[in-house]
């Protein structure tokens, strides 16, 4: 069993990651604060006291001491004491704490610093001091300058800093986790609606669409892309259903005709022309085989199957087809002025392409068929022209739909399954080319354009 270090849902995972990141950041910030703030606060107090002591010491050296010393901001205590213990100058609020004046430097001009903790006895003031002492020479003899500042404000500030660190950090992490959870929940709410709607969509009903939020963000793009995908799936499913229905219909007709012929022959064996019946049955079987082959090739093309390819000379391929059709219903005139027209592709599929184009032309031509193979730039152009009834402009795209047969072709019973031209266009597209119908009168002109293969 694999142990999961993170929760299963995206919301919980992102909330956990955000909280962990915030925890690391705030822990590092708290550690830095606790490591630097006390020293910075105390350093500021030391600087103020030292400045005040040196200023008074300078006055003492010159013998210009006032009786009452003025204390600067946050320096509460200043006093100058002679070597005999006489107070030469003092600030008005100097405390009666003998520990302050007991601090004496051993050398002249040497600054001594000490911190006095609150006394243990209750009758003494409970104030913590930062004390500095500096001994200088004065006109009256050696004297020591004392300066002191209370550290109560620093202690109080540090208490607040610790409260903010130890209580504020967990509260901030809880706030980060809660806000992240709420924000992600709000952001993923459209995803939940999309999921719920997708869960209701089945293969039988692809008409439903997922809601697209108005946020304009990536989730809105996801919903729009999902709807486009559903559109394509619906069209594909509809095309597939229509294809199956049309294929069933087209296969049913020759099968029904073959069965009827065989049933009649079986019912009246003595009156049956078995040679003619066999020929008709063979013709129906050949049509069934042709339809099945085209359906299989269409299925492979739809599936994206890539057959083995090699260089195929379209001029030679056209010559082979024309040779096999000698004695056809109408003559086939060939123009192979290009000499050779190499195309890199599947010989089987390219053979099927020409077969379908020529079969279509033979069915509809009145007196002749013209086939031209030309090389134009980096393209091989194969043109098949007949002089039949032609294809109306409004039907020139419809004939490339599967199982589509125009009314004039049905009326004249010219055969065909309606798969030849759609399959030919699919083959041309699979080879990076196109198959279109060009303007021509009389008759129809089909133009297949394929990439020319150039030897490297």
pLDDT of residue 451: 93
List pLDDT tens digits, range 288-325.
Answer: 777 777 777 777 776 666 678 899 999 999 998 888 88
pLDDT digits (tens, 9 = 90+) for 195-205: 888 888 776 67
What residues does each domain of the chain span?
Answer: 1-118+125-200, 218-299, 308-451
User: Domain 308-451 carries which CATH code?
Assistant: 3.30.565.10
State the average pLDDT for the chain: 82
* Angle between the N-to-C axes of helices 169-200 and 218-267, in degrees from 0 to 180, rounded to the nearest 10: 20
Distance from C-alpha of 241 to C-alpha of 235, rounded to nearest angstrom: 10
In sequence order, the 6+-apart residues with CB closer than 8 A to the CB of 372 are 334, 335, 381, 382, 383, 385
- Write the DSSP symbol of residue 303: T
Contact 148, 129 (CB under 8 A): yes
Rounded to an integer, what distance in angstroms lies between the CA atom of residue 214 and that of residue 382?
A: 51
Same fold, 218-299 and 308-451: no
In 3D, which of 131, 78, 128, 129 has the Cα closest to residue 104? 131
How many angstroms separate the CA atoms of 31 and 25, rounded? 10
**Residues comprising the chain, all counted:** 456
Tokens of 174: 């809880």
- pLDDT for residue 113 is more than 80: yes
* 185/179 Cα distance (integer angstroms): 10
The mean pLDDT value for 204-219 works out to 79
The pLDDT of residue 228 is above 70 = yes
What whole-number percentage of the chain has pLDDT above 70? 88
Best CATH choice for the domain 218-299 from the list 3.30.56.10, 3.30.390.30, 1.10.287.130, 2.60.120.10 = 1.10.287.130
Look up residue 425 and give its two tokens: 């266009």
What is the per-residue burial (b if ≥16 Cβ within 10 Å, else e) of 9-41? eebeebbbebbeebbeebeeebeebeeebbeeb
Out of 4-18, 20-34, 362-376, least confident range: 4-18
Q: Are 425 and 400 in contact (CB under 8 A)?
A: yes
> What span, in angstroms and rounded, lies between the C-alpha atoms of 320 and 323?
5
Model confidence pLDDT, tens digit, residues 409-455: 554 445 556 778 888 898 899 899 999 999 888 889 999 999 998 87
Residue-wise pLDDT for 22-74, tens only, equals: 889 988 988 888 888 888 888 888 888 889 889 988 988 888 888 888 888 77
From 340, 364, 342, select the one nearest 421 (Cα to Cα).
Answer: 364
């Amino acid at each position: 069993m694999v142990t999961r270090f993170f929760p299963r849902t995206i919301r919980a995972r992102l909330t956990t990651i955000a909280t962990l990141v915030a925890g690391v950041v705030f822990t590092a910030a708290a550690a830095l604060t606790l490591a630097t703030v006390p020293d910075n606060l105390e350093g500021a107090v030391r600087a103020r006291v030292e400045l005040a002591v040196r200023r008074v010491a300078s006055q003492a050296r010159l013998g210009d001491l006032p009786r009452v010393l003025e204390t600067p901001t946050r320096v509460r205590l200043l006093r100058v004491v002679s070597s005999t213990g006489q107070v030469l100058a003092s600030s008005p609020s100097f405390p009666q704490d003998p520990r302050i004046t007991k601090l004496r430097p051993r050398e002249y001009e040497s600054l001594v610093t000490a911190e006095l903790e609150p006394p243990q006895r209750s009758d003494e003031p409970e104030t913590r001091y930062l004390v500095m002492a500096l001994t200088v020479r004065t006109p009256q003899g050696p004297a020591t300058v004392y300066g002191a500042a209370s550290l109560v404000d620093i202690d109080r500030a540090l208490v607040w800093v610790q409260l903010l660190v130890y209580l504020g950090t967990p509260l901030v992490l809880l706030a980060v986790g809660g806000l992240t959870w709420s924000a992600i929940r709000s952001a993923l709410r459209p995803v939940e609606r999309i999921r719920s709607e997708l869960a209701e969509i089945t293969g039988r009903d692809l008409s439903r669409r997922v809601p697209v939020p108005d946020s304009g963000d990536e989730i809105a793009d996801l919903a729009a892309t999902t709807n486009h995908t559903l559109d394509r799936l619906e069209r594909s499913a509809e095309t597939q259903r229509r294809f199956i229905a049309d294929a069933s219909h087209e296969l049913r007709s020759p099968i029904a005709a073959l069965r009827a012929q065989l049933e009649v022959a079986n019912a009246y064996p003595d009156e049956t022309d078995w040679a003619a019946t066999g020929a008709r049955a063979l013709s129906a079987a050949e049509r069934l085989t042709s339809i099945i082959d085209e359906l299989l090739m269409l299925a492979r093309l739809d599936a994206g199957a890539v057959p083995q390819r090699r260089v195929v000379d379209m001029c030679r391929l056209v010559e082979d087809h024309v040779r096999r059709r000698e004695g056809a219903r109408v003559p086939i005139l060939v123009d192979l002025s290009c000499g050779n027209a190499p195309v890199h592709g599947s010989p089987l599929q390219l053979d099927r392409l020409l077969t379908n184009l020529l079969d279509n032309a033979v069915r509809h031509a009145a007196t002749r068929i013209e086939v031209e193979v030309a090389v134009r730039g980096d393209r091989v152009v194969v043109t098949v022209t007949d002089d039949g009834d032609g294809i109306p402009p409004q039907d020139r795209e419809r004939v490339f739909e599967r199982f589509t047969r125009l009314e004039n072709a049905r009326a004249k019973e010219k055969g065909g399954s309606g798969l030849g031209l759609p399959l030919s266009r699919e083959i041309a597209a699979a080879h990076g080319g196109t198959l279109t119908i060009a303007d021509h009168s009389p008759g129809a002109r089909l133009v297949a354009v394929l990439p020319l293969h150039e030897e490297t």
